[in-house]
Chain A
């Protein structure tokens, strides 16, 4: 035991000093669109390589609008690596969670979109005050599960933010769902939600949970959480960075924009 304590004393502080740090240079995150002019149909590389059809070109073929749906993006990096004009680049931000599904769609030209939900510091807003208990239901993405579990480790230490993972829906405030919710997990997921007391929020973590990702539209009916439950926050990425997951839990439960105050319904479609 003494050796263990000595080793423990030798280990320095492991927790990230800054909350939601940007990813280091050269690291591939989610794609982001810039205002650099796109070459359009003559190029079309991004549309061609994207495995989930997340990117679309529209408008004037000479000077098209590019749109990119992060809710479909499996962060494969292929569009970023192939774009000759830097219209698509890697986004270093780890604050990538959003409150509304539409906010996941990015446009190369400014459009009227809802402002991204700001995280108002760590102020305690909404019904949950400073502490939330999170029940995780995995429906089949072990990478995202690992990153959710990582939020509790010494590096991210989510308990600093009042986030705790619990083993039963009975005492959970947040239902955090990972994976694409294929046929056999649809009923168990909904019954887990029904076992939770109000107020409760649902967070879709990872692109599979948002849209089914690469499994979307297949015979297993694995199209994400939305066909089964109303979702209060979306965390894109395949898998999302642990900081982004913490961000998602915080905006769903603490941001002014959250609608966690009213009881969610099923089957929003």
Chain B
């Protein structure tokens, strides 16, 4: 259960008060967005997280009727800069004082008067501005890349400003896979919502299903069975292991180290096989649901899982030796794409990206989800902030996750895995689900209206924070190292675009 306190703030104080609250010791910024309150009024809300006691607070202030602006906090909390731009695109509001105002998610392909969350009673929207940051000076040239990429990855546009072969600036334009996930989540019948939640970023199906389930369970004030919490932990860690293997293999492939790519490719296959054994499918779709698990896990499956785990561990150790002890690999990854700890912190990086730049933050140590924070996690950190450090954090996390899975499976509680959940939600309440997904802190933030309908469903994917890290890390590097740097972050486009 994550306690959420409401903190109303006067519009005039917003700009000073929110940064002050976010900077208190033990607190961090979570997300910022708008919701519609009683009578159609718009409320600007900032979610702040207390790491000391695993609780949260929501600072809120009204947008004046007919208004088309709010005060930006980005200068004081740079981590909020994309969230404020997203508000611009979706609600037609302008963040006054935002240092780099432009559209983020909706651009030329969208009619200029389309603001998905705005209604005519809100008054005239503030127009969108689609543009790229241009870099002036002698010899500066631009390289546009995308939205379709050369490899088998999601679409997005990268605009490089280069001096010779050195990147001076990278402007990232996403939004190409905006599907309207948040609006859909508030519109579908509650029993179908979990499938939409999983599709927010379908390579993180367990994490999204879990954040969704935790938030709903908090709204109802109910707790799922112990066994479900334990199996959810195993499911989440399997997802982490499979994807970290995939990332390490992709890094090997990007530097032309075919043996590493092949070895990690098959390990990823083995880890997906665990997911299949546990839940029935490789990506564990439809398995974690509000109230527990959609179906039971039998003893035979658990035995098979424990046995395959013991076979995987030595294979994983071998694979890591092949990759990390290879001088060629070290040479290619070290010193490339450095993200300094101070910048990682200011821009609110999360997950392995943050931990490779010295941050000790891992949501599993602070916020209630599955068996966490009761189950102790070895937090993997590095300080170099380069591609090698990001790989190293993943390596450490693979082994700590495998240990966690073994530990949980060895002491799996007996009993059922599902409690019955009510068909409706309590009125006028807010709850958040926070999960340490394999890419980092994932937030699902749900508010209900007076009728108990979901009035706002906001998702803050870890990638939404971390894309800025890619733009920072690539500066001063060779253009041709960009694919490698990008791969060392491996962020989600669909999770960001929603």
* Option from B148, B152, B266, B285 in Cβ contact (under 8 Å) with A148: B152
Say yes or no: A238-B285 contact (C-beta < 8 A), given A51-B196, A139-B177, A222-B179: yes
> Which candidate, A63-71, A123-131, A181-189, is the interface stretch facing chain B?
A181-189
* B55 CB to nearest A CB, Å: 32
- Which of A8, A145, A192 has the most chain B CB atoms closer than 10 A to its own CB? A145
- Verify A4–B184 contact, CB threshold 8 A: no
Residues from chain A with Cβ under 8 Å of B181 in the complex = 215
Residues from chain A with Cβ under 8 Å of B318 in the complex = 7, 10
Using CB atoms, name the residue of chain B closest to A14: B266
- Verify A74–B195 contact, CB threshold 8 A: yes
- Verify B259–A8 contact, CB threshold 8 A: yes
Q: Once A and B bind, how many residue pairs between them come within 8 Å at the CB atom?
A: 183
- Verify B155–A183 contact, CB threshold 8 A: no
Q: How many residues of B contact A (CB 8 A)?
A: 62
Residues from chain A with Cβ under 8 Å of B321 in the complex = 3, 7
Using CB atoms, name the residue of chain A closest to B149: A138
Say yes or no: A184-B176 contact (C-beta < 8 A), given A138-B152, A154-B265: yes
- Verify A215–B202 contact, CB threshold 8 A: no
For residues 128 through 142 of chain A, which have their beta carbon under 8 Å from a beta carbon of chain B?
136-142
For residues 293 through 320 of chain B, which have their beta carbon under 8 Å from a beta carbon of chain A?
294-295, 301, 318-319
B108-126 vs A, Cβ < 8 Å mask (1 yes, 0 no): 0110001010000000000
Residues from chain B with Cβ under 8 Å of A75 in the complex = 281, 285-286
Q: Does A167 contact B (CB under 8 A)?
A: yes
Cα distance A155–B188 when bound, in Å?
38
- Verify B286–A215 contact, CB threshold 8 A: no
* Option from B180, B263, B266, B276 in Cβ contact (under 8 Å) with A222: B180
Say yes or no: A77-B155 contact (C-beta < 8 A), given A140-B497, A155-B266, A238-B202: no
Using CB atoms, name the residue of chain B closest to A206: B202
Cα distance A238–B201 when bound, in Å?
12
Say yes or no: A28-B195 contact (C-beta < 8 A), given A185-B177, A219-B116: no
* Option from A140, A208, A213 in Cβ contact (under 8 Å) with B155: A140
Say yes or no: A154-B262 contact (C-beta < 8 A), given A27-B276, A145-B154: yes
Q: How many residues of A contact B (CB 8 A)?
A: 66
* Option from B179, B183, B246, B319 in Cβ contact (under 8 Å) with A182: B179
A219-251 vs B, Cβ < 8 Å mask (1 yes, 0 no): 110100000000000000011010000000000
- Verify A184–B262 contact, CB threshold 8 A: no
Cα distance A146–B285 when bound, in Å?
15
Q: Does A105 contact B (CB under 8 A)?
A: no
Write the residues of chain A forming the contact surface with B, with a CB cutoff of 8 angstroms: 1, 3-4, 7-8, 10-11, 14, 24, 26-29, 48-49, 51-52, 74-78, 81, 90, 136-150, 153-155, 165, 167-168, 179-180, 182-188, 192, 208, 213-215, 218-220, 222, 238-239, 241
- Can you name 15 A-B residue pairings with CB atoms under 8 Å? A24-B276, A77-B295, A140-B176, A140-B179, A143-B283, A145-B152, A146-B203, A150-B268, A155-B265, A155-B266, A180-B179, A183-B109, A184-B106, A184-B110, A218-B179
Report, nearest first, the 5 A-B pairs whose CB atoms are least far apart: A140-B177, A28-B280, A76-B286, A143-B202, A153-B265
Write the residues of chain B forming the contact surface with A, with a CB cutoff of 8 angstroms: 106-107, 109-110, 114, 116, 147-148, 150-155, 175-181, 183-184, 188, 191-192, 195-196, 199, 201-203, 205, 246, 259, 262-263, 265-266, 268-269, 276, 280-283, 285-287, 294-295, 301, 318-319, 321-322, 325-326, 492-494, 497
